[in-house]
A and B are shown apart, each in its own frame.
Chain A
């Protein structure tokens, strides 16, 4: 445990969770997932055969997935200088 890995130069890396952008976009997209902005107690309108709110939920989740993939490479990288 106390033996450090040596022989390789250490470089500071940015952590995704330390970026405000990571939290702002995640919270925003998560907030859009349950379709609260659709009328209650109805499943209409239907979009592509499923309730419109669920369709929007899938879109928001898709956005989250794409954001996560982007964050892996763009918010987690070596810090230059």
Chain B
């Protein structure tokens, strides 16, 4: 089947630019609404946003181009094994319940506006702050440039080649740049909230397309004849892989810098609770719809190669264009995916910028920098991130899913220090530092030596377990100073209490 035989062509070009125009206008409006030129306003919108805006924004930031394009492609390749997708999205909420409450409490009590401030206060170690920030930053950066793949594949296939993969990436990068540069976090949160709402609408059309292609039962019947293994329950290594992925996402994604920024930006814990309460139904619904879309794709386009399957979503859309419903559905889903991708990319890039400004520039390089100067530095970091992202994605060699795994392998090594910072006063800096170094060594060593998974368990998960064990048991052996212990107890107490 020729996947580019049907396409939206020029209309999709017009729609893309129309969408981008609206997003820029909203960003400008948010810029006009800003309270002051400070890092707190630029990065956290002066903590003035409500739970519906932040909840929808957080939803849109989680569901990204790689959920709509990369994860559906993974469902296509693995079949029902990836019913794991809804499970790990709920695992993310469980992870947020571990991280969000103590981080918000501690931030409120002690006035932190970034993870680095929390870490330096807790461990009084620039090297720990630097390493943890670097791990989290890596996660955010990969999450950011993954979006380029999704947007490039989608734009090129659905437009029937009118917009090329590379051109799409460039237009996309420019949009992110303008939105983030002028709007700051307030602009991003308001825009991503709107994008979250549009994504939900797009999902209704995905349900319509599932029916258009004959429904799930029909697809299962076809798969049972063509590739029945894609219907089997996981066993052996696949079973350990199942739990490894859940762990990777639960601990990794909940600690994304962009998520932590959302926890810190909330006005009150009541908003945080309302926001987390909204998450499971939204996440479950979205993941299930996308999962079944991937299952139906197996029946519609059997036998695609690994890299060709990365384009299966745009192919499903293009293939439905011969009916009026298919045409309308494709338009809306294209808008939804564009929104999902833009929201994640811009939400992530602003977090990257915040991270570098607060945890590297102000904390470790130039503590005397004025607020205006810090905001300017943040904007230049956005520009640099976008450019590096474009360079890394122009010639894709790995699947989007593989990037997802690589992202978490490293990110996970920064997490034990963060967890212990707010949960355990007993754990102190020397064992924590040793844990991070060994954890990173194991995760990188195994991955680079071609052992990305050991009996289905990700190298990063193995690194995380050893990292945590060194930090915890090392702290039992090496006692902290009285002063260090006193400070740690204050911070852990702050993490459990708020006004």
Question: Residues of A with Cβ closer than 8 Å to B?
Answer: 1-5, 8-18, 22, 26, 30, 33-36, 38, 40-43, 46, 48-51, 53-54, 57-58, 60-62, 64-66, 68-69, 71-73, 75-76
Contact: A33 with B101, CB < 8 Å?
A: no
CB of B178 closer than 8 Å to a CB of A? no
**Chain B proximity of A9: nearest CB distance (Å):** 6
Q: Given the known A-B contacts A16-B101, A49-B220, are A65 and B232 also in contact in the complex, defined by CB atoms under 8 Å?
A: no
B80 — which chain A residues lie within 8 A by C-beta? Answer: 43, 50-51, 53-54
Q: Which residues on B sit within 8 Å (CB–CB) of A43? A: 80, 220, 224, 228, 231-232
B83 touches A30 (CB 8 A): no
Say yes or no: B93 contacts A68, CB within 8 Å: yes
The answer to whether the Cβ of B235 comes within 8 Å of any Cβ in the partner chain is: yes
Contact residues in A for B495 (Cβ distance below 8 Å): 15
A43-B228, A51-B220, A76-B273 given as contacts; is B87 within 8 A of A61 (CB)?
A: yes
Interfacial chain A residues near B215, Cβ < 8 Å: 49
Contact of A17 among B87, B97, B108, B111 (CB under 8 A): B97
**Interface contact B97-A68, CB-CB below 8 Å:** yes
Looking at the assembled complex, report how far the CB atom of A54 sits from the nearest CB atom of chain B, in whole angstroms.
5
Cα A80 to Cα B117 in complex, Å, equals: 31
Q: Is the CB of A40 within 8 A of B284?
A: no
B276 on the interface (CB 8 Å rule)? yes
Q: Which of B238-246, B318-326, B330-338, B341-349 contacts A (4 or more CB under 8 A)?
A: B238-246
Point out the residues of chain A lying under 8 angstroms from B480, CB to CB. Answer: none
Instruction: Report the Cα distance A65→B318, complex, angstroms.
Output: 34
B366 → chain A closest CB, angstroms: 16
Annotate B471-492 by CB proximity to A: 1 below 8 A, 0 otherwise.
Answer: 0000000000000000000000
Shortest Cβ distance from A57 into B: residue: B83
Q: Which of A17, A38, A61, A71 has the most CB of B within 10 A?
A: A61
Q: Are A66 and B280 in contact (CB under 8 A)?
A: yes
Q: Is the CB of A17 within 8 A of B98?
A: yes
Give the distance in Å from the alpha carbon of A51 to the alpha carbon of B497 in the complex: 46
Contact string against A for B residues 282-306, beta-carbon threshold 8 Å, 1 for contact and 0 otherwise:
0110001000000000000000000
Q: Is B94 an interface residue (CB 8 A)?
A: yes
Q: For B419, give the chain A residue with the smallest CB separation.
A: A17
| Chain A residues near B233 (CB-CB < 8 A) | 34-36, 38, 40, 51, 53-54
Write out, one digit per residue, whether chain B residues 221-261 have a CB within 8 A of any chain A CB (1) or not (0). Answer: 00010001001111100010011001000000000000000
